Chain A
Amino acid sequence: MTLTDLPTPTFGGGYDGQARPRMGFFTDTSICIGCKACEVACKEWNLVPEDGPLRISGNSYDNTLALGANTWRHVAFIEQAKPVQVPEVDLAAAAAAAAGAGTTAPQAREGLRWLMSSDVCKHCTSAACLEVCPTGALFRTEFGTVVVQQDICNGCGYCVPACPFGVIERREEDGRVFKCTLCYDRLKDGMEPACAHACPTKSIQFGPLEELRERADAKLEKLHEAGFDDARLYLRDEANGIGGAGAFFLLLDEPEVYGFPPDPVSTTRDLPRLWKAAAVAAGVVVTAVAAAVAGGRR
């Protein structure tokens, strides 16, 4: 391996023909109802500890706030002052009914739209966490997912700032890093991950990545036909800075609205350039030392 050619460990490369099709998540946020069953199922199955005392964030119904060592699924709630696209609802009648009940009617012109989305580790193709991990604790499974080996991790924390999505985190009372395993144990037994299993609307879909992509493309087309011009697939393609993701999303607004980076890049893509800059700097040290000594004793 040369320094200018730093590939991600190849898919299935280390599995001697035992590699399985790459598995992943397609999270269709257009049918997410924000029930948080995925959060609960994930915690239950994976025995993830409590993430601190309960508190009300004030950010809509999101009191989980972010992915982290103790949160491997996170449901985001976004309230937007934007009319909801539900043509069959008679807003005027609804407003009259609400007025009769003594509540404030939503204004038809101003409308409130609620976006909900269940976030998870992306299991990137070019996974920065895996690439920067000095111990090899992070590895690529036979399903193409990215998992931490807890008996190897020494808690150096390098993966934490390397992740362009802010997914992986150190559990301070434990010292090691934790994140979604895509239910590696369940996959090995031919089961689907706990979150996908618990999702009542099939907003979280699990399956071979190729199949999920086809399904997502079809859904997107349907939504566009129905007039949802904002609908888009996020991280579906391989021509992005992380070489595609094992978990991708159908969103109804720009990624940053959901807390996603709009154009994530795996940091190691720039590593050859960084090593070159360091080599130049090291050369400056050698030259400066030589020049300083050559200048004489006094």
Chain B
Amino acid sequence: MSGRRPGFAGNGQPDGDRRRRRGGRGLMVPEAEFRSYYGRPVIKEPAWTIEVPWYFFVGGMAGASAPLAVAARMAGNERLARSAVTVAAAGVAVGTPLLVSDLGRPERFHHMLRLFKPTSPMSMGSWVLAGLGPSAVNAAVSEWFGIFPRLGRIAEVVSGLLGPALATYTAVLVANTAVPVWHEAGRELPLVFAGSAMASAGAATTLLTPAADAGPARRLAVTGAVVELAAGQVMERRLGELAEPYHQGVAGRYARLAKGCTAAGAAAIGLAGRRRRPLAVAGAGLLLAGSALERLAVYKAGFQSARDPKYVVKPQRARLEAANR
């Protein structure tokens, strides 16, 4: 690129110019070069609003609580089963309106069930939610009011079977986009979300269950936290340069907070949750916060990576060059 004039920077010239102009200094060494159209985004940021990551959080919590209810019932731990069906019902009861309100045309929410479409994770998720939502609420109503006990048990099993799908499909939903930091993390994101879901479900049921019956909830919370943190670590390492949004801006702040809360919460519940109720409660609170923050971090990182053309252009350029070599 000899003969390059700074006055025409940004017009398909290597992006170093754009950076320099922004920084207001002429001496900064540009990063690895890539070209773009005035530094403008190549892909669109999602149209989704903040309801979406909160749905991921409460939906994940419900998804992991539902099978916990079934397992606890089978093991004869009725007290824990009651807590778990309650959390599952509360999660879908809160999550479904969040999803509907995020639509541009909420009154057309039922169009989600026009098709059964495996190429659309949102379609599949809608069906999972359409099955799990009513059954989880049925199971909880039956549990609390003692009505239709047999129907309640059937509903509980149905929601338990669908729960793991609800806890993980949201990762496929975001990974199945052109957003680099989501798409390229497709292998790890389901595990991150599964861990986050288990941590929040374990934490919420720990809060609602007397310590003497809450052993499984605490163990699930700690396991979830470990899976969430480990999978997140692997995800960031695999993403390499693309993991940058997880260390910058709002996403970076959320990600750091999420890791801190999750690690501290898991330690509190795991080490002292059995004997010291206040520590169990504090740990559960931290885990819930960590799980929610993790979803927010992933969500915001996606927006940040969509906004900057370098995350789109550089990996594609590298792929082309690798193919030509």
Which residue of the partner chain A has the closest CB to B218? A292
B64 at the interface (CB under 8 A from A): yes
Which of B5, B121, B313 contacts A81 (CB under 8 A)?
B5
Task: Say whether B94 faces chain A, with CB atoms less than 8 Å apart.
Answer: no
> Cβ of B277 < 8 Å from any Cβ of A?
no
- Identify the stretch in B100-108, B241-249, B290-298 within 8 Å (CB) of chain A at 4 or more residues: B100-108
A158 within 8 A of B: yes
What sequence of 0s and 1s flags, for each residue 262-298 of chain A, a beta carbon within 8 Å of any chain B beta carbon? Answer: 1111011011011101101111111011111111111
Asked if B123 and A134 sit within 8 Å, CB to CB, the answer is yes
Interface 9-mer from A19-27, A72-80, A184-192, A216-224 = A72-80
Contact B35 A254 (CB under 8 A): yes
| Chain B residues near A134 (CB-CB < 8 A) | 111-112, 115, 117, 120, 122-123, 126
Residue of B nearest to A164 (CB): B178
- In the complex, what residue of chain B is closest to A155 when comparing beta carbons? B104
Please count how many residues in chain B sit with their CB below 8 Å of the partner chain's CB atoms.
Answer: 99
The interface size bin for chain A is 35 or more
Which of A33-41, A44-52, A59-67 contacts its partner?
A59-67
B residues sitting closer than 8 Å to A (CB atoms) are 3-5, 8, 10-13, 34-38, 40-48, 63-64, 67-68, 71-72, 74-75, 77, 80, 102-106, 108-109, 111-112, 114-115, 117-123, 126, 163-165, 167-169, 171-173, 175-179, 182-183, 186-191, 193-194, 197-198, 202, 211-213, 215-217, 219-220, 223-224, 227, 274, 302, 306, 309, 312-313, 316-317, 319-320
Q: What is A's interface to B at a CB cutoff of 8 Å?
A: 1, 3, 6, 57, 59-60, 62, 65-66, 68, 76, 78-82, 109-110, 112, 115, 128, 131-137, 152-158, 160-170, 172, 174-177, 253-254, 256-265, 267-268, 270-271, 273-275, 277-278, 280-286, 288-298
Q: Which 10 A-B pairs have the closest CB atoms?
A: A155-B104, A175-B104, A257-B12, A259-B37, A157-B47, A154-B108, A281-B190, A282-B164, A134-B123, A263-B316
